């Protein structure tokens, strides 16, 4: 099984007529994802390489039965795009766009939680999600992810960083280890989906036997995850935290990757995870090796 | 983007928050002229983006032009924790009978706005939090609802400020909340928030950090023009690269913020130190590598360069061609170590192969590349 998305997930692309939206909608479709449409109010009735364009999300959902959307809208339009998706009946919203203002994120996170508690938002500023062999929504290169093998020991991955996620997928693939789902929750201060959301889903997924988690400096999401792991995760885990040598007070590329007031350091996060029984690697390679070892011993 | 005190006060004033009249100057002569207009006594305040200005001698009271000249002369050029003072804020001195603290920021854990208010101001709030945590009145605000006046009043009452200023404090904090939200700030802090002997509530300092992602809906050009960056940070900013200058000797280029951070980590684990953080992003345009390599190679600290690439959708051969194209266009002094992995890494390595030598080396893994780069940097 996979978490959040699978072969039945039907996806529309908000911003499908833009260069990025078109490019990745095509790649996702070529991967085998059910790409059923896109939106652009000015180009309704046309198509992008055979992908029908609708005026609104509500119309696209009505016509196609889409359950997920993928947002490739510029940052200024993300707030209304997220709300349009939720109002239009989408259950799973993936927002790839980076550079969304923190106040917008805080607003639509709380708005969704209140008015659309069943809607899940992934991102913003994330690479998306892939359930290898079933569904790929976003910008992950599908061929570096190995499909979960029925009956074998498979891994679930959750990460705040894009390229480090690819690295993890690649290393597991090289070792012949399958992945049920790989979720990129993104590097912003208010991610729609948290580590805990993903850990809970992986814990409940019978096909996921071990979990790999990639965090980074800033905030306290990893510490909160550690508490959750202690209380509720029985599956073995490995982890890596990026930014062990990052200076305080500087945003390291991601808007949320900042150590401020002595809080959010990699050391504190690693300590919390070790305390929760997670095998923590000093670098991504080591975390991958630890996961290989875990899977071999399962 | 962190604002200087005077910029923060300019912003607060736009939202109707009471601040002292003053002027920002860059020379001693202008300081004295500004003091005449502002009216003595004045406070001469160093404008640097670091705390502890007072202790470092960067904030002085002047009763007359001679004192103003003396203080301005001493403070301009002063090194405060590595920040050289280039700008002074000359403001009319305020009499103080009480000092409070107020701020709004985002509680990333609760995913709500978070306000802190304390009757113990004028000292670091972290110190208050440690020594007397009950002295801080806290409030969580739902971004959808916003802050209501009734909530704000309860919050003020819980902080046990002087009862005579409750109404004024509520009014000022509602304005500070507007500045925090509408101004798209990550932090809006007043410390100290003072009460004057005649009972007026007034912002004596301003600490504001703007959310760079929200720049598209504000005119921040003037704030932006005053940002102090070192030469390499300025060049990276102009080239639109995600860059942070550091003090080590290994220059770093990686694709992706997480990978760039972990590259710093492995360089450290190999016994070296990074000269910078640089995320070159997706794609493999030679122009991007030209910009990134030029900025790094112009940094006198840099003794070797570590290019760490993981191919995803951008394939290994595209990246290799981008790097070779860049190296053909510019002359790089420091030796380069490349680690290329991921999609079509073999094809990419084959393209790099004929160009390898003392100046351009390749390593199969991130750790080996880090060791090699550190070794080259220490030669």
B243 annotated active-site: no
Mean pLDDT of all residues in A243-249: 91
Closest chain A residue to B264, measured at CA: A245
Beta bridge mates, B46: B88
Task: Reduce the DSSP state of residue B143 to 3 states and report it.
Answer: coil
Closest Cβ–Cβ partner in A76, A190, A247 for B108:
A190
Q: Check whether residue A174 and residue A53 sit in a common domain.
A: no
Mean pLDDT of all residues in A49-72: 98
Task: Reduce the DSSP state of residue B224 to 3 states and report it.
Answer: helix
Q: Give the pLDDT score at B142.
A: 98
Tell whether A174 lies on the interface with B, counting CB pairs under 8 A: no
Tell me the CATH number at A273.
3.40.50.261
Say yes or no to pLDDT of A26 above 90. yes
Cβ within 8 Å, pair A283-B261:
no
Within-domain flag for A134: no
Set of chain B residues whose Cβ sits within 8 Å of the Cβ of A216: 257-258, 261
Indicate the number of domains in chain A.
2
Cβ within 8 Å, pair A114-B144:
yes
Percent of chain A with pLDDT over 70: 100
Within-domain flag for A1: no
Among 3.40.630.10, 3.40.50.970, 3.40.50.720, 3.40.50.261, what is the CATH number of B231-377? 3.40.50.261
Which entry of A103, A143, A209, A254 is annotated as an active-site residue?
A254
What does the alpha-carbon distance between residue A8 and residue A237 come to, in Å, rounded to a whole number? 28
Q: Check whether residue A156 and residue A90 sit in a common domain.
A: no
Q: Check whether residue A263 and residue A153 sit in a common domain.
A: yes
Residue closest to A195 by CA, chosen among A232, A154, A223, A225:
A225
Within-domain flag for A149: yes
Mean pLDDT of all residues in A117-142: 96
* Domain final residue pick, A75, A90, A122: A122
Min CA distance, B106 vs chain A (Å)?
8
Set of chain B residues whose Cβ sits within 8 Å of the Cβ of A243: 261-262, 264-265
Residue closest to A217 by CA, chosen among B265, B241, B49, B274:
B265
Tell whether B310 lies on the interface with A, counting CB pairs under 8 A: yes
Set of chain A residues whose Cβ sits within 8 Å of the Cβ of B342: 141, 144, 166-167, 170
Closest chain B residue to A166, measured at CA: B312
The ranges assigned to domains in chain B are: 21-92, 98-224, 231-377
Closest Cβ–Cβ partner in B111, B242, B310 for A106:
B111
Mean pLDDT of all residues in A172-180: 94
Set of chain B residues whose Cβ sits within 8 Å of the Cβ of A163: 254-256, 258-259, 310, 312
| ipTM reported for the complex, 2 dp | 0.94
Closest chain A residue to B144, measured at CA: A107
Query: pLDDT of A88-120, one tens digit each?
Result: 999 999 999 999 999 999 999 999 999 999 999
Q: Check whether residue A102 and residue A182 sit in a common domain.
A: no
Min CA distance, A250 vs chain B (Å)?
7
Cβ within 8 Å, pair B312-A144:
yes
Min CA distance, B16 vs chain A (Å)?
21
Closest Cβ–Cβ partner in B142, B184, B282 for A103:
B184
- Torsional class of B52: left (φ above 0), alpha (ψ -120 to 50), beta (otherwise): left
Q: DSSP secondary structure string, chain A?
A: --SS--TT-EEEEETTTSHHHHHHHHHHHHHT-EEEEEE-GGGTT-EETTEEEESSHHHHHHHH---EEEE---GGGHHHHHHHHHHTT-SEEEE------HHHHHHHHHHHHHH-TT-EEE-SS--EEEETTTEEEES--GGGSPBPPTTS-EEEEEES-HHHHHHHHHHHHHTT--EEEEEE--SSSS-SS-HHHHHHHHHH-TTEEEEEEEEESSSSHHHHHHHHHHHH--S-EEEEEE-TTPPTT---SSTT---BTTBS-HHHHHHHHHHTT-EEESSHHHHHHHHHHHHHT-
Closest Cβ–Cβ partner in B184, B244, B266 for A283:
B266
Q: Check whether residue A47 and residue A165 sit in a common domain.
A: no
* Helix (H), strand (E) counts: chain B: 13, 18
* Domain final residue pick, A122, A157, A182: A122
Interface test with A, best of B261, B269, B280 (most A CBs within 10 A): B261
Cβ within 8 Å, pair B261-A246:
yes
Closest chain B residue to A224, measured at CA: B109
* Domain final residue pick, A90, A122, A154: A122
Please tell me what DSSP assigns to residue B235: H
- The H or E element spanning position B370 is helix B366-377
Q: Check whether residue A115 and residue A250 sit in a common domain.
A: no
Min CA distance, A81 vs chain B (Å)?
17
Cβ within 8 Å, pair B257-A187:
yes
Q: Is B189 exposed, middle or buried (0-12, 13-18, 19+ CB in 10 A)?
A: buried
Among 3.90.1150.10, 3.30.470.20, 3.10.180.10, 3.30.1310.10, what is the CATH number of B98-224? 3.30.470.20
Cβ within 8 Å, pair B312-A140:
yes
Interface test with A, best of B213, B249, B363 (most A CBs within 10 A): B213
Cβ within 8 Å, pair A101-B184:
yes
Which entry of B6, B100, B101, B113 is annotated as an active-site residue?
B101
Q: Is A18 exposed, middle or buried (0-12, 13-18, 19+ CB in 10 A)?
A: middle
Torsion of CA A125, A131, A136, A138, to 10 degrees: 0
Q: Check whether residue A145 and residue A118 sit in a common domain.
A: no
Q: Give the pLDDT score at B245.
A: 93
Domain limits for position A168? 141-296
Min CA distance, A63 vs chain B (Å)?
31
Mode of pairing for the β-strands spanning B304-311 and B250-254: parallel
- What are the per-10-residue average pLDDT scores of chain B (379 residues)? 96 97 96 97 95 91 97 96 94 97 96 97 88 94 98 98 97 98 97 96 96 96 86 89 94 94 96 96 83 94 96 86 91 95 91 95 95 95
Cβ within 8 Å, pair A252-B260:
yes
Set of chain B residues whose Cβ sits within 8 Å of the Cβ of A170: 310, 341-342
**Which residues in chain A (203-222) have CB-CB distances under 8 A to chain B?**
214, 216-221
Q: Check whether residue A53 and residue A118 sit in a common domain.
A: yes
Say yes or no to pLDDT of A261 above 80. no
Which CATH number is B21-92 given?
3.30.1490.20
- Measured from the Cβ of residue B99, the count of other Cβ atoms closer than 10 Å reads 18
CB pairs < 8 Å spanning A and B: 168
Min CA distance, B326 vs chain A (Å)?
23
Tell me the CATH number at A108.
3.40.50.720
B189 annotated active-site: yes
Q: Check whether residue A79 and residue A30 sit in a common domain.
A: yes
**Which residues in chain B (87-126) have CB-CB distances under 8 A to chain A?**
106, 108-109, 111-113, 126
Q: Which residue has the tokens 């766009």?
A: A97
Query: pLDDT of B115-138, one tens digit each?
Result: 999 999 988 888 898 899 999 999
Tell whether B221 lies on the interface with A, counting CB pairs under 8 A: no
Min CA distance, B274 vs chain A (Å)?
9
Closest chain B residue to A100, measured at CA: B213
Q: B41 preceded by cis ω (within 30°)?
A: yes
Closest chain A residue to B217, measured at CA: A76
**Which residues in chain A (40-69) have CB-CB distances under 8 A to chain B?**
none
Tell whether B250 lies on the interface with A, counting CB pairs under 8 A: no
Q: Check whether residue A267 and residue A189 sit in a common domain.
A: yes
Q: Check whether residue A14 and residue A73 sit in a common domain.
A: yes
Tell whether B144 lies on the interface with A, counting CB pairs under 8 A: yes
Spatial contact of B379 and B303, defined as CB atoms under 8 Å apart = yes
- Torsional class of B256: left (φ above 0), alpha (ψ -120 to 50), beta (otherwise): left
């Amino acid at each position: 099984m996979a978490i959040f998305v699978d072969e039945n997930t039907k996806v529309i692309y908000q911003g499908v007529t833009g260069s990025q939206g078109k490019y990745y909608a095509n790649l996702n479709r070529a991967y085998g994802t059910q790409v059923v449409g896109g939106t652009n109010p000015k180009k309704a009735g046309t198509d992008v390489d055979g992908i029908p364009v609708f005026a609104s999300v509500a119309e696209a959902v009505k016509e196609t039965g889409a359950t997920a959307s993928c947002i490739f809208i510029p940052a200024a339009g993300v707030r209304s795009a997220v709300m349009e998706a939720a109002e239009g009946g989408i259950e799973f919203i993936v927002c790839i766009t980076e550079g969304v203002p923190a106040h917008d994120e805080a607003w639509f996170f709380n708005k969704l939680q209140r008015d659309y508690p069943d809607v899940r938002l992934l991102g913003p500023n994330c690479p998306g999600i892939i359930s290898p062999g079933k569904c790929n929504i976003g910008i992950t290169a599908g061929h570096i992810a190995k499909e979960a093998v029925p009956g074998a020991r498979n891994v679930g991955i959750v990460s705040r960083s894009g390229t480090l996620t690819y690295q993890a997928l690649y290393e597991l693939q090289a070792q012949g280890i399958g992945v049920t789902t790989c979720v990129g929750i993104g590097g912003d201060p208010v991610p729609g989906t948290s580590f805990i959301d993903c850990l809970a889903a992986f814990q409940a997924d019978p096909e996921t036997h071990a979990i790999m988690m990639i965090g980074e400096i800033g905030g306290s999401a990893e510490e909160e995850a550690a508490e959750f792991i202690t209380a509720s995760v029985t599956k073995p885990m490995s982890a890596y935290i990026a930014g062990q040598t990052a200076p305080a007070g500087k945003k390291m590329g991601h808007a949320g990757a900042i150590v401020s007031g002595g809080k959010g350091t990699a050391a504190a996060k690693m300590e919390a995870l070790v305390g929760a029984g997670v095998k923590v690697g000093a670098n991504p390679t080591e975390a991958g090796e630890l996961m290989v070892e875990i899977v071999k011993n399962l | 983007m962190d604002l200087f005190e005077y910029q923060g006060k300019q912003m607060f004033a736009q939202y109707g928050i009471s601040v002292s009249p003053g002027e920002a100057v860059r020379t001693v002569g202008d300081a004295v002229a500004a003091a005449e207009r502002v009216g003595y006594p004045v406070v001469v305040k160093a404008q640097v983006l670091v705390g502890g200005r007072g202790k470092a001698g960067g904030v002085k009271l002047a009763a007359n032009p001679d004192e103003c000249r003396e203080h301005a002369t001493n403070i301009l050029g002063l090194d405060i924790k590595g920040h050289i003072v280039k700008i002074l804020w000359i403001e009319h001195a305020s009499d103080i009978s009480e000092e409070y603290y107020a701020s709004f920021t985002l509680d990333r854990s609760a995913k709500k706005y978070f306000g802190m208010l304390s009757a113990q101001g004028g000292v670091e709030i972290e110190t208050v939090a440690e020594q007397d945590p009950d002295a801080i009145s806290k409030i969580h605000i739902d971004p959808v609802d916003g802050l209501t006046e009734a909530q704000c009043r309860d919050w003020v009452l819980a902080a046990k400020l002087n009862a005579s200023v409750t109404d004024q404090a509520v009014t000022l904090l509602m304005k500070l909340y507007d500045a925090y939200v509408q101004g798209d700030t990550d932090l809006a802090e007043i410390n100290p928030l003072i009460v004057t002997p005649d009972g007026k509530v007034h912002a004596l300092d301003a600490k504001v950090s703007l959310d760079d992602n929200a720049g598209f809906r504000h005119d921040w050009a003037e704030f932006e023009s005053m940002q102090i960056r070192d030469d390499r940070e300025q060049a990276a900013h102009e080239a639109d690269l995600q860059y942070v200058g550091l003090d080590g000797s290994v220059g770093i280029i990686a694709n992706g913020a997480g990978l760039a951070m972990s590259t710093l980590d492995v360089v450290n684990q190999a016994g070296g130190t990074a000269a910078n953080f640089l995320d070159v992003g997706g794609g493999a345009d030679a122009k991007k590598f030209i910009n990134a390599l030029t900025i790094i190679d112009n940094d006198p600290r840099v003794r070797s360069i570590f290019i760490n690439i993981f191919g995803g959708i951008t394939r290994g051969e595209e990246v290799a061609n981008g790097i070779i194209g860049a190296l053909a266009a510019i002359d790089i002094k420091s030796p380069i170590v490349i680690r290329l992995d991921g999609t079509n890494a073999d094809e990419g390595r084959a393209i790099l192969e004929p160009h390898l030598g003392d100046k351009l080396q390749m390593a199969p893994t991130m750790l080996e590349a880090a060791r090699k780069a550190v070794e080259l940097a220490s030669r």
